[in-house]
Structure 1
Amino acid sequence: MELRQVRYFLALSETRNFTRAAEMCDVTQPTLTLSIKKLEDEMGGPLVHRERGNTHLTQLGEMLLPFLAQVYESSTAASRLASEIAHGERVPLNFGVSDVVRKALLIAPLRETGNAAEGLELHVEGGSDGDLVQRLVDGVLHLALVDETAISADRLRFHPIYREALSVLMLADDPLTESNRLRSADIVGRPWITLDGSPVHEALQTRLQSMSAEWTPRHRANRSADAQILCLAGMGLTLIGQQEPVLPGLVARPLDDVSLSRTIGIAEARGRPLSSTALSFTRLLRALSVA
């Protein structure tokens, strides 16, 4: 089935006249008649009753009409979108941002990208590092700003943007806040909120379990923002990045005897071409090199 055959059939269904349908499609009547006949052969039966002065659709034609109309509309819409993208009239950019990322970092690069690409259609999606990386691999996202530890090196390319230390997060009235710096022994007996899939959390858990075989994290969260909510509710301690926004009512204290840090950067799929706009946006982010 060819798209022009569908177009001719739709014109005939509208005009109910071969001559007017041919004029509408800017073809000769024999050309249109032949195309309709070929379409009927492919559909397995007549689509049109050819009666002098009373051309109308058969039952099969009536049943197929909405489906063929949808096929034609979808195809022409796809062609139009491809043309608009090819000519820069529309520039889609699907960008994932981990909830642990300092969002203010994005303002200048986004502003410059928007000024340079008039047809920019930006879709920003937040979430956990693991979820965003999976959507990047699946092709839903073009780029993602995530923790390096979430990256699969064989499938994704990673460009570091900044590195930050992690500290212990607690309620502002917690007795531990009396000290400016903590040690592992200070927190080993306290309820803990761990972040699923976080190697940094896992490293600290391993150390705490080596100090107390009975120690286990009591609560779990999929996103850092959710871990903060649990912490604010008094459910336990957790970790937070140095540049991560902290909810009111919580404070952070560094650990002296454990080195905890993570690297945040831009991830893209290997072997998957990016638009010039996406490449430009990536370069702007990489140029920041925030310490």
Structure 2
Amino acid sequence: MELNQVEYFVNLAETLNFTTAARLSGVSQPSLTRSIRRLEEELGGPLIYRDGKNSRLTALGQEIEKDFKQVQLALRSVRQHSDSWALGSQCVLDIAVAPSVSPNAFTSFFLRAMEENPTVWIKIHALQPNEDTAEILSGKYHACILPRQPKPDVKLDVRPLFRERFVLGCAAQHPLASVDVVRAADLASFPYVDRLRCEFRDRIQEHFFRQEIVMRPRFRAEREDWVQRVVADGHAICILPEHSGAAPGLVTRPIEGLSLERELVIVTVSGSTTPVEMRKIAQLASRYAWS
């Protein structure tokens, strides 16, 4: 097996088109086709059903695609380390963060991480709705920060960071801001904003439903900044994680009887395929004194 076959097959698996895969690989289509056939002979079975526009990966092909993407990630890591040693260049780490995770608790941590790792540059990405830990395994991101534990996978290294409660969010001048603990029954008296990206949205609604409290949101939004701006301006209230309030003027208060909480985690690929700089930062995160 040759390293260029890894690239050829990954391009083919992603496009399911020999012509397009050959163009992406910088080779002729016959050359790519011969390379894939040699790979199939070596692995002992077909990797792709060849059916024109309906071509698709076989079960073996699907498994090989995952492994080959791991190989690509490892090769990328090797090249980064080589560049760092030979040229003194920086190591850029791509870290994706779930939309509902606020920067409040993380800005000081990342400053500390870069201080302890002076050759590291950190690039933060917004994790898209259709993305999950598969993007780490594919090599798109070096790590993800998630608001809950992902499904168990031996290929993933999952490190808990901290837990946070779900609380009331309201404006500093709002009537509910004057009490230390808000009664759940009092929430229904005020306009409510529905955070559509909240991972615990159904459980929050179920909690209030069991108490016969009906929250009727007239404003719904997927974007956290829109939700928090409406709340901070005093037009409505919301339920959000206690460390997520980022808009100036927004305050939080615990809600009587609401015991929901979430655990934030940082996820990387287990083993040596993860850059050593990323592993150091993940270790720092797991022992960091989160406030």
Give yes or no for contact 1:148–1:158 (8 Å, CA) kept in 2: no
2:82 pairs with 76, 81, 86, which one?
A: 86
Q: Match of 2:109?
A: 105
Find the aligned partners of 1:180 and 1:213 in 2 and give their Cα distance: 20
In 2: Cα distance, 1:220 partner to 1:136 partner: 30
Task: Structure 2: give runs of 5+ residues left out of the alignment.
Answer: 1-27, 32-74
Q: Give the root-mean-square deviation of aligned CA atoms.
A: 3.4
* Cα 1:83–1:198 shift into 2, 3 Å: closer
- CA 1:128–1:201: 2 relative to 1, 3 Å: farther
Rounded Cα–Cα distance in structure 1 between residues aligned with 2:283 and 2:219: 39
8 A contact 2:172–2:249 mirrored in 1:
yes
Give the superposition deviation at 1:206.
1.0
Distance 1:143 1:289, change over 3 A: same
Which stretch shows the higher mean deviation, 277-286 or 80-89? 80-89
**248-257 vs 83-92, which deviates more?**
83-92
Which residue of structure 2 lines up, in the alignment, with residue 166 of structure 1?
166
- 1:52-131 equivalences in 2 (<5 Å): 83=79, 85-86=81-82, 88-89=84-85, 90=89, 91-98=91-98, 99-101=101-103, 102=105, 103-113=107-117, 115=118, 118=119, 120-126=120-126
Match of 1:65 in 2: none
Alpha carbons 1:193, 1:220 under 8 Å: kept: yes
Cα distance change, pair 274–83 in 1 and its aligned pair in 2 (3 A): closer
Trace 1:1-291 onto structure 2 (pairs within 5 A). Answer: 83=79, 85-86=81-82, 88-89=84-85, 90=89, 91-98=91-98, 99-101=101-103, 102=105, 103-113=107-117, 115=118, 118=119, 120-126=120-126, 135-136=135-136, 138-148=138-148, 151-154=150-153, 156-212=156-212, 215-269=215-269, 273-290=273-290
Mapped to 2, the partners of 1:156 and 1:84 lie a distance apart of 21
Aligned-partner Cα distance in 2 for 1:145–1:260: 20
- Name the aligned partner's letter for residue 107 of structure 1: L
Length, aligned pairs only: 210
**CA spacing shift, 1:160–1:223, aligned 2, 3 Å:** farther
